Amino acid sequence: MSNMGSYDERLKNFTWSIAAEELGYKDGEVVNIGWYCSDRICDLGKAEKTALYYEGFGGAQRSYTFNDIRLISNTIGTFLRNIGLVNEDRVCLFMDRIPELYFSFLGVLKIGAIVQPLFSAFGDESLFIRLENAQTRAIITQKKHLSKVRKIKDRLPYLEFIIIVDQLKETELEGKEIVFRFENAEPVDKMAIYPTKAESPSVLHYTSGTTGQPKGVKHVHLSLVSQYLTTKWVLDLRDDDIYWCTADPGWVTGTSYGIIGPWCMGITQCVLDSGFSAQSWYQFIEKNKITVWYSAPTAIRSLMKAGDEIIRNFNLSSLRHLASVGEPLNSEAVIWAEKNFGKPFHDTFWQTETGSIMITNFPGMKVKPGSMGKPFPGIIAAVLEQKTFEPIDEPGKIGLIAFRPGWPSMMRTYWNNQEKYNEKFVNGWYLTGDKATIDNEGYFWFIGRDDDVINTGGHLVSPFEVESALLEHAAVGESAVVSKPDEINMEVVKAFISLKPGYVPNKELELEIMNFIRKKLSSFAMPQEVEFVEKLPKTRSGKIMRRVLHAQEWGEEIGDISTLEND
């Protein structure tokens, strides 16, 4: 029997107060995620239980109890407070998946400040745009990423503190930089945790849209209620589980279910901070006896590609429950898992904006391979007709995935962009920007996005952001960025470029441009292919018709091109 019991039973008398009660939270009282994930677990008698088992590059290993994470997050929180940071200040975490990242997350929340996690794989321009937008006051980073921060810090007047978590000599430090080695600092046993309330801001995650700059999705401490209950009922975590969420906390999965969910339940979790290989992943599961594994389709496809033979070299019998998020999970992947691990991957659908799982295949429920499953209890979901925005009753008809607002972990706004936030609502529905169908048993089937955003290996990339960055390259006259199919990542970025006079298309230039974007933005935003063209397809009014290029890449019908500019 799963933690949830029967889905139909749960639907009947559902209220979010089920979670609030289990968490001992009452409306209007103080709720602080940092405290819930560490101090409370110690108070519940689990101080000596392992909270984190970490393995890094080259096999470095560290493990921490809940009391350790309570103490270390207190120590960090106190340090941040002592240098003058206060509630609602934005503090960016720009680190690999090292333990310091996880502890800082809790420490920042404990002083009521807003934590802004960003992928350490981001290049300087991606970092700059997000720090500038959030008017971030402090960044916590590693020596190895310092050069990117140094490159942009003078253009960031609000950035006052650059905190480095590893050793650097006094003489090596530049302005704004401070070294703080958490593990060498005097542990702080007691700190006054900032009394955040339900609506106090907690986490600021950046996500990409089709037009304009990335948007900061603002979450609040009440999100805990949704994250707790979905972790318990969907991921089915139990007290003796060993849990592995493969996501980086630069991404919402890595915070909602890679920090908050497991730790607010007092569950032991493992983190592997090294590059991907089937060998090392299976080894990690075997060695740590992982029981619950939350991953993503791109990783699963890579494992499938590595073949079934390698699996026989490992004892993976500890695995009890598998789940996936971020991209469409092909039915082949579900069936493959059943064959090789004796259980399917359970797909989960949600977004940075929703803060927690919205549609899913529940443990114990019939899994339909290729379907995303059904809405979480308390979530009212529909697919809407694309013109009227009215719910579609007819099974199998494509519409826009929408939710009735009001679940606890829903974003509260886009940072400094209430207008964009308001655009997400029509007729009292929150629009996800995705399309799906619902079958006659109420299962949702993902169709695709309703915009040009590229989902490459689970990372959302805005064509606009890549095009803007491309324009900064001396050779680029104009560009259009679309997706192209890819076996592992589902889709990857492709750039069509017309060159400025005097530049000649060749392989060298293609590589140079690709590298330029990788350094500026990130490896996932980097075009995997550059096609040089004389001119780009445009409407008569001069707008680039990405749709035409997209159709060409995917072998689809081009559709109406009556507005296409002719020579």
Pick 153 or 346: Cβ nearer ligand PRX = 346
Q: How far apart are CA 535 and CA 107, in angstroms?
A: 52
Pick 65 or 230: Cβ nearer ligand PRX = 230
Q: How far apart are CA 501 and CA 552, in angstroms?
A: 26
DSSP output for 190-213: --------TTSEEEEEEE--SSSS
Query: Is the distance from CB of 520 to CB of 123 less than 8 angstroms?
Result: yes
Pick 81 or 346: Cβ nearer ligand PRX = 346
**Least distance in Å: CB of 43 to ligand PRX?**
31
Pick 411 or 476: Cβ nearer ligand PRX = 411
Q: How far apart are CA 113 and CA 129, in angstroms?
A: 20
**533 Cβ neighbours under 8 A, 6+ residues apart:** 496, 497, 498
Strand partners, 383: 401
Residue with tokens 């927690």: 356
Q: Which residue is nearest to ligand PRX (CB)?
A: 352
CB-count exposure of residue 528 (10 Å: 0-12, 13-18, 19+): middle
**Least distance in Å: CB of 62 to ligand PRX?**
27
Q: How far apart are CA 231 and CA 178, in angstroms?
A: 37
Q: Of the candidates 537, 345, 522, 370, which has an alpha carbon nearest to the alpha carbon of residue 445?
A: 370
Pick 89 or 248: Cβ nearer ligand PRX = 248
**Which tokens is 523 given?**
């490896």
**Which tokens is 77 given?**
């929180």
Pick 265 or 400: Cβ nearer ligand PRX = 400
Pick 202 or 268: Cβ nearer ligand PRX = 202
Pick 84 or 442: Cβ nearer ligand PRX = 442
**Which tokens is 184 given?**
């060498």
**Least distance in Å: CB of 497 to ligand PRX?**
27
Q: How far apart are CA 299 and CA 312, in angstroms?
A: 19
**Least distance in Å: CB of 430 to ligand PRX?**
12
The residues that touch ligand PRX, with contacts defined as CB under 6 A, are: 207, 252-253, 325-329, 347-352, 372, 432-434, 446, 449, 455, 460
**Least distance in Å: CB of 71 to ligand PRX?**
31
Pick 32 or 432: Cβ nearer ligand PRX = 432
Strands 359-360 and 345-349, how do they pair?
antiparallel
**Which tokens is 299 given?**
């990783």
**Least distance in Å: CB of 356 to ligand PRX?**
9
**Least distance in Å: CB of 329 to ligand PRX?**
6
Residue 139, sorted as left (phi over 0), alpha (psi -120 to 50) or beta, turns out to be beta
**Least distance in Å: CB of 10 to ligand PRX?**
21
Please state, in angstroms and as integers, the Cα–Cα distance from residue 284 to each residue in 273, 274, 280, 299, 319, following that order: 11, 11, 6, 14, 12
Helices H / strands E in the chain, number of each: 18, 27
Query: Is the distance from CB of 450 to CB of 434 less than 8 angstroms?
Result: yes
Q: How far apart are CA 211 and CA 377, in angstroms?
A: 33
**Least distance in Å: CB of 227 to ligand PRX?**
12
**Which tokens is 22 given?**
């289990």
**Least distance in Å: CB of 501 to ligand PRX?**
39
**Least distance in Å: CB of 400 to ligand PRX?**
11
Q: How far apart are CA 63 and CA 419, in angstroms?
A: 45
Pick 7 or 257: Cβ nearer ligand PRX = 257
Strand partners, 460: 455
**Least distance in Å: CB of 211 to ligand PRX?**
16
Pick 350 or 414: Cβ nearer ligand PRX = 350
Pick 449 or 519: Cβ nearer ligand PRX = 449
Q: How far apart are CA 464 and CA 480, in angstroms?
A: 9
